Amino acid sequence: PTLFRSNDLANTQRNLIRFVKNNPYTILDPRVQILVDDAKIKKYTIDFEEFSSRNNKAGLRQVRNALTNFNPANQIIKNEKQKLIGLVRLDLGEDLWTQILTGTTQNKLNLALSMIRDILPRAATTIGVKREYYLKQLEKIFKITRHQKSNETTFYEGVSLSLKAEIQATQAKKDAGFQAAAKILAQVQPPYKKEAQYIEARSLFFARNYKSAQKLFIRLVDKMHSARSLYYLGEILRNNGNDNAAKKCYEVVMEKTYNKPGGTFWYENAKASLEKCRTRGDLSLLSSINIENVEFPDELLVIGKEHISYEKLASREYLEDQAVEKMNKMLLKFGLPKKNIYPSRNLLTRSLLKDENLFSTLNAGIQDKKGAITANLILWVINEKGQPYASEVRLDGQPLETPKPNSPFVMKHLPLNRDIALKIEAIGYYPIQKTIVLAQPNDNEVIIPLSEKVNYLNAIKNYDPDNEFQNFRKNIDKDVLMSNSLPKIPPQSRLFSDFEKSVAYRDAVFQPNLDEFLVVNSFTKNILIYNAAGEIGPNKIFDVSIPDPPGKLKSPEGITVDSEGNIYVADWGRHRVYLFKSDGSFIRQIGGFDNWGASKTGSSSLIYPSRIAIEEDKAGIEFRGKKVYREKHILISDLFGIHKFTLSGIELDRYLNNEQNYGLGNLSGLMIKGYGMNSKLYVYNRLDDKVWVFPAEKKLR
């Protein structure tokens, strides 16, 4: 189930084939036969999707023939077989109305709608080309049902459009796609109308049309008692800065979905959102909404005896959760023989487990052995080209034996689930120091990509900061804002005016996770929040706290974020850089005052840090079918130059110190583009009022 959920289809397919081969029909009891048939239908499904994506007609015919000769005993698997063979025949070009659908006109239309309900979840659990394929197949069926089943077709077309919107390349196209879905869903009539309104509101939410979405969700909560709608209402409130009202929504959702069939998905989502909430806003909006009366499941659409919902049709996360839950139920139901009053032939009569009275009710055969469970480390150390590289490796201080060329380091019989200190050193590369945990018995493959040592010595150009960046207070302190994560501040905004008027406004960054500007103010000693338009809201303080020394920031000077939303703040007065999660919770600190003067690399001291930039390997390196990413680095400018740190606070390098005529404390702007040898370092030097660009050069030692 875990491999299937993570879309590791190659390994899933191999495991399914191995299971089928190890259980030939000649020795199966009915219980195991169901598991084998279930494995076969899953294998045929993977084969079908692979051949469809490559338009491999020969392969599709093989799947069709295999399905024709496949005769499962279990009715559920029989139904899955019939649905799958219909899709295969459709892909092979057989006419839907005359060859695939059978019976009267009404029966054919009902079968077509059933195919739609089967294809939508398949589309939802795929992405890219595979999803596009399924959506095209749906278009073929919509042409058949649109005339005589117009209301149902409009409903399903709206769901299909929302799936299409999810895979658009740009946010603007996603927004337009979700708006189109909402528009068509607004036309749906009963009995599909209530669920259509929920999906319409959901589409408006993902189109970032929060105002319209909120109105619909409030109606669905108040009039139709929809717990699902209450969750999304909480998301809108949190996005608008009313975390206290959002908390109440999440708490009710958790209460209503706890231990309910299908409720785990909503419970866990509400719980995760609740943990992100801060203390801001009030409950006034909820006073006129009857949120306590919501129900789960809300069953806005029931056709016959079937409860139909967007999540069952098209929510990828929900469907993956349900798929794993279904597989686990199959294993629980059929994986072990039923217990009875008679002794089993596999009864544990001479067993270490029995002697210690462990698993006293278990009656399946076990090959048991007493001893510690250990793990094996298979460690690959690779360079930037994705090639194994000669290195010195230590585990908990002990050196590992150097492997043969193009081979991994191997260490067997290591403790399971325990922190192990890993250190890697290689000529021409920065050392790696990290903690690893081997979480599964037997082999654990770990891939560590090295980062080349680089230097920034020779500028290729310099230019006026106004050419690319915003330069405030030119006649006072020349505060230039430089960041990969900072769009231009709107000139007519409150934020622009604040930077122009006051030297207390030191630096700003745009936080995409919050859709807000975060601004450090050295006088108020805190982080201020401005919305995307550059206007300050009622909840203007972004709360952070530091443990050592406890309390607030002393004199924040620089701020930036990384791709995961983590926030980095340079505190000029405390000689430290602080790392926070996107919700403001503390992670760690780097630096600290050492002595007056530039101490050696590795000391991790900072003296009056001012600006921060994050070096991230966004391209990654392909190795053994996986994409791995090199270590993230933090670049910090202080009184004596620029320092490069690991995320854990180990100093790796220093650049552009005062010996190179940049002057004490004059590197007041900092940005990096690219990674390693493909990077360029941008610095603003207050002495000559220029931005200097330094391409990376290989550092020989």
Beta bridge mates, 443: 376
Q: Are residues 473 and 385 in the same domain?
A: no
Looking at residue 143, its pLDDT comes to 92
Domain shared by 427 and 465, yes or no = no
φ, ψ of residue 370 in degrees (nearest 5):
-95, 135
- Both 471 and 425 in one domain: the answer is no
CB atoms within 10 A of CB 60: 22
Residues 378 and 481 in one domain: no
Do 391 and 443 belong together in one domain? Answer: yes
The helix (run of H) or strand (run of E) holding residue 143 is helix 128-145
- Segment holding 303, helix H or strand E: strand 302-303
Residue-wise pLDDT for 16-51, tens only, equals 566 666 555 444 466 677 778 888 888 888 888 788
What pLDDT is recorded for position 656? Answer: 82
Examine residue 363 and state whether it is found in any structural domain, yes or no: no
pLDDT tens string 561-590: 998 889 999 999 889 999 998 888 899 999
CA distance 682 to 690: 10
Same domain, 484 and 446: no
Measured between alpha carbons, how far apart are the two ends of the chain, in Å?
Answer: 48
| Whether 553 and 414 share a structural domain | no
Give domain status of residue 421, yes or no: yes
Q: How far apart are CA 388 and CA 623, in angstroms?
A: 9
How far apart are the C-alpha atoms of 109 and 113, rounded to whole Å?
6
**Which among 422, 450, 478 is the end of a domain?**
450
Same domain, 630 and 486: yes
What residue numbers bound the domain in which 613 lies? Answer: 455-698
pLDDT, one tens digit per residue, over 385-439 is 999 999 999 999 999 999 999 999 999 999 888 899 999 999 999 999 999 999 8
**Pick from 450, 480, 495: which residue ends a domain?**
450
Count structural domains, the chain.
Answer: 2
The reply to whether 430 falls in a domain is yes
Per mean pLDDT, which range of 40-44, 451-455, 504-508 is the poorest?
A: 40-44
Q: Taking residues 105-114, report their average pLDDT.
A: 88
The reply to whether 26 falls in a domain is: no
Whether residue 610 sits in one domain with residue 536: yes
Contact 503, 473 (CB under 8 A): yes
Question: Residue 337: pLDDT band by 50, 70, 90 thresholds?
Answer: low
Domain presence at residue 480: yes
pTM confidence score:
0.51
Answer yes or no: is 169 within a domain.
no
Low-confidence winner among 7-21, 95-109, 195-209, 524-538 (lowest mean pLDDT): 7-21
Distance from the Cα of residue 637 to its chain's centroid: 31
Q: Which residues, other chains included, contact 330 with Cβ-Cβ below 8 Å and sequence gap of 6+?
A: 34, 35, 38
pLDDT tens for each residue of 235-254:
999 999 999 999 999 999 99
Q: Give the per-residue pLDDT at 662.
A: 58
Q: 381 in a domain, yes or no?
A: yes
Cα-based angle 110, 113, 117 (whole degrees, multiple of 5): 135
CATH of the domain at 585: 2.120.10
Reported residue count of the chain is 701
CA dist 303 and 288 (Å) reads 32
Q: pLDDT tens digits, residue range 130-173?
A: 788 889 889 999 999 999 999 999 999 999 999 999 988 888 99
Residues 519, 500, single domain; the answer is yes
pLDDT of residue 600: 44
Q: Does residue 291 fall inside a structural domain?
A: no
d(CA 196, CA 190): 9
Distance between alpha carbon 329 and the CA centroid of its chain, in Å?
Answer: 27
Only one residue has tokens 């219980």, namely 31
Lowest mean pLDDT among 75-84, 126-135, 594-603: 594-603
Q: 387 - beta bridge partners?
A: none
- Percentage of the chain lying above the pLDDT 90 cut: 44
Instruction: Out of 430, 450, 470, pick the residue that ends a domain.
Output: 450
Task: CATH number of the domain at 444, please.
Answer: 2.60.40.1120
Rounded alpha-carbon distances, angstroms, from residue 343 to 28, 352, 361, 641: 20, 18, 12, 77
Query: Facing residues of 295 across strands?
Result: 226
Could you tell me if 607 and 621 lie in one domain? yes
459 and 432 within one domain = no
Q: Categorise residue 102: left if φ over 0, alpha if ψ from -120 to 50, beta otherwise.
A: beta
Two tokens at 216? Answer: 């619909």
Reading the block at residue 268, the tokens are 């866990």
